[in-house]
């Protein structure tokens, strides 16, 4: 308990809120690398995932790419890219690393969202005379959006956790107190930095969990409610003789 008290004392110390390594500055750096990386990954993965889900082609390749990307050690990849690109391109090396980390979840969320749609819904839309573009934009995208938001949720959490290694190459972020505190044996600082990263991840997860529920089309929510209502009514109705 003393370590937790020391960690919170470190967090709320006035020194932590001033200077170039203040907690607001480190939080801003952490969010900057997270948002930029996930945005670039989304621009690559979401169109590719939608194309795979709409056409039904290339799924095996997407699964293989996602599996290979997840197997790459992030820290080792970042160090390798720093060595290849040079010390003047450290931010680019870090962003590439985080982008590669975010792509698998976004790609999977994009194409599985389309695959999860009942094919009868797609056939009904086509039979009504909708063009392929209308089927894609008015049927597949809205119905596949919840799983895409789920992929975005997973990608953001992975990147938030991994951006902490950016401090190893002097890019700041909330990992800086952890990286600096370990050799100094400042465990209050290490725990304080870990609390900040965990709190940020929890807040983002709560926001995107709400967004994922809100992304479910109203008609789908009503249909699910109607399917559940008879069962509930049977459970709550008085027993008949």
Residue 155, classed as helix, strand or coil, is: helix
CATH of the domain at 74: 1.10.3720.10
Report the alpha-carbon distance of residue 143 to residue 68 in Å, rounded. Answer: 28
In a domain, 140, yes or no: yes
Residues with Cβ within 8 Å of 147's Cβ and at least 6 positions away in sequence, in order, are 109, 112, 113, 116
For the chain, what percent of residues have pLDDT higher than 70? 90
Q: How far is CA 206 from CA 51, 159, 200, in A?
A: 29, 16, 10
Ranking 23-32, 171-180, 198-207, 211-220 by mean pLDDT, the lowest is: 211-220
Structure confidence at residue 68 (pLDDT): 78
In a domain, 145, yes or no: yes
Are 69 and 100 spatial neighbours (Cβ–Cβ below 8 Å)?
yes
Name the average pLDDT for the chain: 86
Query: 128 phi and psi, to 5 degrees?
Result: -80, -5
In a domain, 241, yes or no: no
Name the residue range of residue 172's domain.
Answer: 2-236
pLDDT band at 241 (very low <50, low <70, confident <90, very high): very low
DSSP state of 19: S
Does residue 105 have a pLDDT over 80? yes
Mean pLDDT of 108-128: 89
Does residue 118 have a pLDDT over 90? no
In a domain, 18, yes or no: yes
How many distinct structural domains can be found in the chain?
A: 1
pLDDT band at 229 (very low <50, low <70, confident <90, very high): low
Mean pLDDT of 53-77: 82
pLDDT band at 239 (very low <50, low <70, confident <90, very high): very low
In a domain, 60, yes or no: yes
Does residue 46 have a pLDDT over 90? yes
pLDDT band at 195 (very low <50, low <70, confident <90, very high): very high
179 vs 86 pLDDT, higher one: 179
């Amino acid at each position: 308990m003393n370590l937790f008290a020391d960690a919170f004392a470190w967090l709320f110390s006035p020194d932590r809120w001033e200077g170039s390594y203040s907690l607001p500055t480190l939080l801003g750096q952490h969010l900057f690398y997270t948002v930029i990386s996930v945005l670039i990954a989304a621009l690559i993965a979401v169109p590719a995932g939608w194309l795979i889900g709409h056409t039904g082609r290339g799924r095996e390749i997407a699964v293989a790419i996602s599996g290979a990307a997840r197997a790459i050690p992030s820290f080792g990849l970042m160090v390798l890219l720093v060595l290849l690109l040079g010390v003047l391109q450290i931010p680019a090396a870090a962003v590439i690393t985080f982008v590669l980390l975010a792509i698998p979840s976004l790609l999977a969320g994009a194409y599985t969202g389309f695959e999860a749609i009942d094919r009868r819904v797609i056939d009904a839309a086509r039979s009504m005379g909708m063009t392929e573009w209308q089927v894609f934009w008015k049927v597949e995208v809205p119905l596949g959006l919840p799983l895409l938001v789920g992929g975005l949720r997973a990608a953001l959490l992975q990147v938030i956790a991994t951006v902490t290694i950016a401090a190893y190459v002097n890019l700041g972020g909330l990992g800086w107190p952890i990286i600096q505190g370990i050799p100094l044996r400042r465990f209050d600082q290490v725990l304080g930095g870990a609390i900040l990263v965990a709190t940020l991840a929890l807040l983002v997860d709560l926001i995107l969990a709400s967004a994922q529920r809100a992304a479910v089309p109203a008609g789908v929510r009503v249909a699910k409610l109607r399917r559940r209502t008879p069962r509930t009514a049977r459970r709550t109705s008085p027993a008949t003789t």
